[in-house]
Structure 1
């Protein structure tokens, strides 16, 4: 590209010629001693004019390639140098090359991508039915659950002209989506293979993104959510119900405003769509105050102490189990009535419900990485400077662990990670093309 630009500028270059009057030439050629002084002055003037011509020529023909990071005018009018710290950071990023991935990791990622990956579709990422009229159905939760329960429990695909399966990305947020620019890059070029749904605080009055955004008109009718209360589960069921109304949605992943993707869209899509029978949800028995200690005896006999399970709220389920969740009229009412006051329904309802109803389908792991090593009620948060290429590669390589995927052991265990502060966005946008394969 640089060579091409140089050639184009050379083709359009105009040579500068300084005309010399005939009388000046004659005066310089005259042997008369009286003209010696005049000849010296003329030679000086001619040299000065020639210098100006050369300078003009250089300005017109210099290319950005000759002056890295600047224009040709900087040859004569240099700009102030950048701050030393910024220059050092930028140099370190440019000089630091990603290590060669191991053959096993490369083989696993390639195998995941190659599993029935469909071609691009120009039909639009989100459901056209959802966008008709500029929004979602605004009805009571009871009516919404009934409407979603009537939707097909399987995605009908194939040669009959049916839709291709999509992944529904369910964003449960408190306010806005500070990582939206990164997600825009993630979804770019994969229209028709995903749907986006956002549940936020109804008091949030932020402006809707433009029509080109994947988040345009994707906020569902929302209600207030309080941390640790049953309203968190109600919001999750609300998201699932709206997503079930799109009959092409096959897999459903719950995300927060601090989530980031660790892989490109084709890898994430193939990983989830081609997962055989399993869903990605933690469901385990944990002794102690933060596990069994949260069980309420009033839940018995519907939910017994031996059935009580714990896990992360960041689940991934298929269409059939999503339908089971929104049609549950046995366990959810019990949680709604009794799981309060340090019960934390969002960490126990789905692990307990699916652990009772579908124990063989639960992988007991999440595809979202979270750091709980610091202890306390909340996971560790990551700031801008903690986001480095090496850290992202470590997460992509399983964060030091292995897991099972379709009967095989792999290091591709986490597709997403959290909690990243908004000021880390610029780092993700910088490293995503080199490390995560998109942007």
Structure 2
């Protein structure tokens, strides 16, 4: 059974007819490119179906093909939300969203970061193994209703959305930062506050990885809304403007694609992890000019393993912390360094040329520029082992004072 699509040119437009041909036979022999059918049964043609039209539609770029009703609705919602002006006032706050297994080993360090800035931040904690015992009053009674989270599954995205929806209830929260228990701050609160609230973008990493763990994870079931060319990758550790947080909560079309077809261990696609692809792909489609394309959370993927490097106490020095906090070039590690069945045909010509220009040893390097100015890329960093706490507390005042 297969699809046969015919193109008929009409005045200033293209019209497509699509038929599904099903061949029933007692015996079929393939010879070269021709199929010979033996027996009494003859091929017959079914009428055009929605499945067929979707398959054909996916071959066309969105500005040519007919959009689905769900796509039109999604675009209308996004357009209206983005028209709502940002209101940064003296009461505006940053919502810090901690997605944790349980304890917060760097609570003492974060307490030092938040101290003296009450009224300019709010904290929300999603914990899915054990309820932490807090030593800082800033974290007391800040847990939200939490459900079990499995790494690599859509439940990770669901937890992020639970944090967002709780934080959105406070209208003074104007920017939202997702953090893990192994994250630490790299700058003072004042610097972080200005960096985020006075930017014109959300800091969401989104890049093309034509390797097996990038576009290689795309599923045909995601068509027609998400093509291979649309498929993006990025760290889950975002910061986003309020308008973008509202858009995430309003989305069902793109979320449903990743919920159904992107999950570690799913038979359909064993390597896909929704938290690495959903937001990166979603925002590259609905508001590509509204995101930075890099994450402000530093992570070391240089070892190219399943999880990033974890820093122990003996590896941390003032020189190292200053280097990370002042870095002005972001690095996106692709899966090109592996045995590669890379699909360069899934990206546009312009993106392909860009990849050729900036790709080095399987890495993409981008300058951290927003509002027309190049600044340090990172406000936070991970992963740090709990044994690094004392070292980091002792160095905090020094390494956070290097950038004004």
TM tier, smaller: 0.5 to 0.7
Q: 1:279 deviation in Å?
A: 1.3
1:364 partnered with 2:293: yes
1:160-199 equivalences in 2 (<5 Å)? 164-199=91-126
Residue deviations 1:344-400 (CA, integer Å, cap 9, x gap): 000000001111100111211110111111111111110001110000110111176
1:418 partnered with 2:382: yes
TM-score, normalised relative to structure 2: 0.66
1:237 partnered with 2:161: yes
Q: 1:248 deviation in Å?
A: 0.2
Given that 2:99 and 2:178 are in contact with CA atoms closer than 8 Å, whether structure 1 keeps it comes out as yes
Report the equivalent of 1:436. 400
1:154-303 equivalences in 2 (<5 Å)? 156=87, 164-201=91-128, 203-207=129-133, 209=134, 213-276=137-200, 278-303=201-226
Query: Secondary structure at the residue paired with 1:181?
Result: helix
Q: Structure 1: which 5+ runs fail to align?
A: 1-149
Q: Structure 2: which 5+ runs fail to align?
A: 1-80, 331-366
Distance 1:294 1:334, change over 3 A: same
2-side partners of 1:337 and 1:433: how far apart?
Answer: 46
Q: 1:213 deviation in Å?
A: 1.2
Decide which structure has greater helix share.
Answer: 1
Report the equivalent of 1:337. 260
Q: 1:258 deviation in Å?
A: 0.5
CA-based RMSD: 2.1
2-side partners of 1:268 and 1:371: how far apart?
Answer: 21
1-side partners of 2:384 and 2:218: how far apart?
Answer: 31
Match of 2:283 among 354, 357, 364: 354
Distance 1:417 1:199, change over 3 A: same
1-side partners of 2:145 and 2:99: how far apart?
Answer: 12
Given that 1:153 and 1:319 are in contact with CA atoms closer than 8 Å, whether structure 2 keeps it comes out as no
Given that 1:155 and 1:247 are in contact with CA atoms closer than 8 Å, whether structure 2 keeps it comes out as no
Q: 1:295 deviation in Å?
A: 1.0
1-side partners of 2:85 and 2:170: how far apart?
Answer: 11
Match of 1:386 among 315, 336, 343: 315
2-side partners of 1:435 and 1:306: how far apart?
Answer: 41
Decide which structure has greater strand share.
Answer: 2
Q: Which has the larger radius of gyration?
A: 1
1:403 partnered with 2:388: no
1-side partners of 2:238 and 2:246: how far apart?
Answer: 14
Given that 2:109 and 2:389 are in contact with CA atoms closer than 8 Å, whether structure 1 keeps it comes out as yes
Q: 1:333 deviation in Å?
A: 1.4
Stretches of 4+ moved more than 3 A in 1?
152-158, 399-402
TM-score, normalised relative to structure 1: 0.61
Query: Secondary structure at the residue paired with 1:247?
Result: coil
